[in-house]
Amino acid sequence: MSYLVRKFPFTVRAAYAGLQQTPIELEEASLNVGATRNKTFSSIVVPLIGVSVLAGALLSFVYCVSEVSTSLLLGGANYNDAPLTYWIRDVNAGLPPLFGAGPAAALGVLMMVLQMIVIVATNAILKTRASAMTGI
């Protein structure tokens, strides 16, 4: 729940950007031929902003994966459900060779690779609109 509260604005921002790029003429045309507002929203608007919402959700996922402060608070309460950043902290605090700075750094690199894969996928999905949402 805490991840949702902290990172949901990124998804909302992406959906809002998609709504701004949706031509109002399509909605007006749908209403003019007799469609209800609900039908217009579900048949016209949702398919047009679906890609933006997906990209925003992926971006929120990237930020959630690298969240440290929330991870430390949640991981301390329930170790079995602790996120990756909490596990990296525990690996770093242990003794070598299975624990220590080296394995923790390797886990950090894996986390960065995962984040880059998601960002590249988001940019590929959004194409020209990607820089507005991801900053890349």
**Identity of the amino acid at 104:** A
What per-residue confidence (pLDDT) applies to 74?
64
> pLDDT (tens digit, 9 = 90+) per residue, 39-72?
988 888 888 888 888 878 887 877 777 776 666 6
Q: Is the pLDDT of residue 126 over 80?
A: no
Q: Is the pTM of this model over 0.95?
A: no
pLDDT in tens, 71-96: 666 666 666 666 777 777 778 887 66
* Host domain of residue 101: 2-134
Give the up-direction half-sphere exposure of residue 97: CA atoms within 13 A in the CB hemisphere.
0
Number of domains the chain is built from = 1
